[in-house]
Amino acid sequence: MLGLRQAELARQVGISASYLNLIEHNRRKIGGKLLLNLARVLAVEPSMLTEGAEVALLASLREAAAGLPRPIAELDKPDEFAGRFPGWAEVLAQQQQRITGLERIVQTLSDRLTHDPQLAASMHEVLSTAAAIRSTAAILAEPGELDPEWRDRFHQNLNQDSQRLADSSRLLVSFLDESDTGDERRGVPQEDVDRFFADAGYHFPALEQAKPEAQPALIAEVIADASSLLSEAARLIAREALQQYCADARAIPLEPLQDILNARGFDLDHVAHRFRCDMATVLRRVGLLPEAMLGQAVGLVVCDASGAILFRKSAPGFILPRFGASCATWPLFTALTRPQEPLRRQVVQHSRGDHGYECFAVSWPHRAIGLDRDPLYRAVMLIVPSKEVAPQAQVVGASCRVCSYNRCAARREPSLLREEF
Amino acid sequence: MSRHVVLVEDEPNITEAIRFLLTRDGWDVDTHSDGSDAVEVICAAKPDLVILDLMLPGKSGLEIIRDLREGGELPGLPVLMLTARGQLKDRTMAEEAGVTRFMTKPFSNTEVLTAVRDLHAQARLAAQPAVGSVSLSSMGAATSDETHARPRSKSG
């Protein structure tokens, strides 16, 4: 017997896969008939299995062997291998577990691309409309006279289809960039963190009220209880974001902040002055306040010096890309070029001319600067929906691939919309 | 000699454009937009060729072609499938179901016309008794530089 999947091993010894998992992780001691059966199926001495870790190691080695297309010599002696080279055996077993984890992620992402019914329906709509436009336009572009009745009919069709294409493209963009994350999207750490914060309403009353010395333990507890944080990477990202949240909450306590907002609205300069803190702290703090306290929903984006988005909270109607680079014209990125200088911009997103926003942005050194230590900057942008679109509003996009503003000086790649249609 | 095509497509403006192109090319074009009774419509019409969309209301293009092939009523009927889904597995499934040619949207008018003419010529060639050699042009297959009168008005 060369290789054996874990589920098959469990079946052969008459236990569930989850029980085998407990044994493998030393959480269930085994003995008696089960010990003898496991040893028989794994083809090792029972004494090898008295420690649960050995079962885990041997099972992983068996699983690694099971993945090979054809038998290779010596694979039937994993116990000898583990006995002679325990370190290498452990490395091999860990690599096998890592491969299994990666395969699961690839499967999730592949499924997402190929089996997402909403994405498939949106793409079908866009491509069908494009087909109708292409065919009709080609007929109209042919040289020679076209019967007026046909010509008028085709003009009318072209007009209808252009409108449909605009609508369906907008829906597709909205789906790609701001739709709710479904179960099939689980597995990407940043998305898990987005879900975790959204589920909590971006507000953690228990952390607000806890004393500073109690906050680390409380953060660990909140993270341990979060069902949306599936990976260690997601938990690390969430932990750092919550540490920042606690630091900001300590700098600007909730109740006096509420009083200022009630009395003076978005007077952010005053908030910074009153609490003697920098503008970055103010923007992060205000951006995560509950909608009921602010009287309206606002968005918040944080990036690092490479432009990678570290944290995002959507503002109504403002498209935040789900993956990849964002629009380089956002005030967020301008703030990176002007370290620690706050800026305010009225913006409107291209092709969404009915939504105006007031954006406040600033960058701050993320770690202490020293004589021999270069600063590491991060930038934050608070996005506040405006009642009206300001006449001088700066036009920005979401990301190049879904933006059809072709004359943009910041364009770095062709638009999907422009290329296809 | 009149050539008859049934076009099953639920997108009205694609239907209109293809009907115009094929009518101008000398085809009698019947159109239908519902998948659920498409098999009956095709069997009753006994066309020379069928153009079939993949995603249709009522019944998919794949189900329609499977029913047609399994029913065996119109053996050798060429079927051109149009679809927005162009992945290899979609193409493979369509071919296994009995589609003669597979074309992804958005297509060009020339591609559609060329495919329709080729499929019709090949079907007629296949239907001929195997005596001597027969050229495509003698079978009525149009060439790319062939000219056709434009329809005078939009037909029903």
DSSP per residue, A111-153: HHHHH-HHHHHHHHHHHHHHHHHHHHHHHHHSSS---HHHHHH
Distance, in Å, from the CA atom of A399 to the CA atom of A395, rounded to the nearest integer, reads 13
pLDDT at residue A65 in the model: 74
What gap in Å lies between CA B123 and CA B120, rounded to an integer? 5
Spell out which residues of chain B touch residue A153, defining contact as CB-CB under 8 Å.
16, 154
Summarised one tens digit per residue, pLDDT across range A253-273 is 999 999 999 999 889 999 999
User: How far from chain centre, in Å, is Cα A259?
Assistant: 34
Residue A376 vs residues A4, A311, A335: alpha-carbon distances, Å: 49, 17, 14
Contact across the interface for A131 and B18, Cβ inside 8 Å? no
Cβ-defined contact of B17 to A153 (cutoff 8 Å): no
For residues A43 and A12, the answer to whether their CB atoms sit within 8 Å is no
Report the pLDDT value the prediction gives residue A253, as an integer from 0 to 100.
94
**Which of B7, B9, B13 has the most A C-beta neighbours within 10 Å, making it the best mutation to test the interface with A?**
B13
Check pLDDT > 70 for residue A110. no
Q: Which residues in chain B have Cβ-Cβ distances shorter than 8 Å to A154?
A: 16-17, 20
Q: How far is B118 from chain A (nearest CA, A)?
A: 19
| A130 CA: distance to closest CA in chain B (Å) | 6
CA distance B36 to B59: 5
pLDDT of A349 over the 80 cut: yes
* pTM of the entire predicted model: 0.48
Confidence check: pLDDT of A1 > 70: no
- What is the CATH number assigned to the segment(s) B3-127? 3.40.50.2300
Tell me the domain boundaries of chain B: 3-127
Residue A228's alpha-carbon distances to A117, A224, A231, A245, in angstroms, are 23, 10, 9, 19
Residue B25 banded pLDDT, cuts 50, 70, 90? very high
The answer on pLDDT for B52 being more than 50 is yes
What pLDDT score was predicted for residue A22?
73
How much of chain A exceeds pLDDT 70, in percent?
Answer: 80
pLDDT of residue A49: 67
* Least confident span in A130-134, A146-150, A176-180, B59-63: A176-180
Q: Do B17 and A150 touch (CB under 8 A)?
A: no
Q: How far is A112 from chain B (nearest CA, A)?
A: 15
Instruction: Specify the length of chain B in residues.
Output: 156
Residue of chain B whose alpha carbon sits nearest to that of A126: B84
Which residue of chain A is at minimal alpha-carbon distance from B90? A114
Residue that has been written with the tokens 């889904």 in this structure: B85
Does A150 contact B106 at a Cβ distance shorter than 8 Å?
no
